[in-house]
């Protein structure tokens, strides 16, 4: 967790079954998402890297800096619609307050379909 007087970032483990799908193809699937809540933004699922099919993705040259999370790296689809534009991001070396997001990716909502099933356990 990181906080300031006006800004907060929380990363909590989720129990949902989350699938990231593009054109009918599963890009990522996990039962261990992180749910990242950040002031002023919608909650986001961050998917463990081991649950992402990197055969479908390629890194881009893009990097941005968030004062609350650190420097983000980006990925694009290797082919088809959306190829060449940033579709997912991660923080390979996040700030200490949010170190739990390391080795997790999140996807732009307009680039994929996110299918969420509630935990049935």
pLDDT score for 6: 85
The most distant pair of C-alpha atoms in the chain lies apart, rounded to whole Å, by 43
Of 94, 121, 118, 116, which Cα lies nearest the Cα of 105?
A: 94
CA 55 to chain centre: 17
pLDDT score for 72: 98
pLDDT score for 81: 67
Hey, what domains does the chain have and what are their CATH numbers? Answer: 2-117 (2.170.150.40)
Count CB atoms within 10 A of the CB of residue 102: 14
Count CB atoms within 10 A of the CB of residue 17: 16
- Rounded Cα gap, residues 68 and 31, in angstroms: 26
Share above pLDDT 90 across residues of the chain, in percent, rounded to a whole number: 83
pLDDT in tens, 22-53: 989 999 999 999 999 999 999 999 999 999 99
């Amino acid at each position: 967790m990181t906080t300031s007087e006006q800004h907060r970032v929380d990363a909590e483990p989720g129990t949902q079954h989350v699938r990231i799908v593009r054109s009918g193809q599963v890009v990522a699937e996990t039962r261990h998402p992180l749910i990242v809540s950040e002031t002023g933004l919608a909650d986001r699922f961050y998917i463990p890297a081991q649950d992402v099919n990197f055969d479908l993705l390629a890194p881009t040259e893009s990097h941005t800096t968030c004062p609350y999370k650190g420097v983000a790296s980006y990925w694009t689809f290797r082919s088809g619609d959306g190829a060449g534009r940033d579709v997912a991001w991660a923080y390979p070396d996040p700030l200490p307050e949010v170190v739990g997001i390391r080795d997790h990716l999140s996807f732009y909502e307009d680039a994929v379909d996110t299918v969420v099933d509630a935990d049935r356990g």
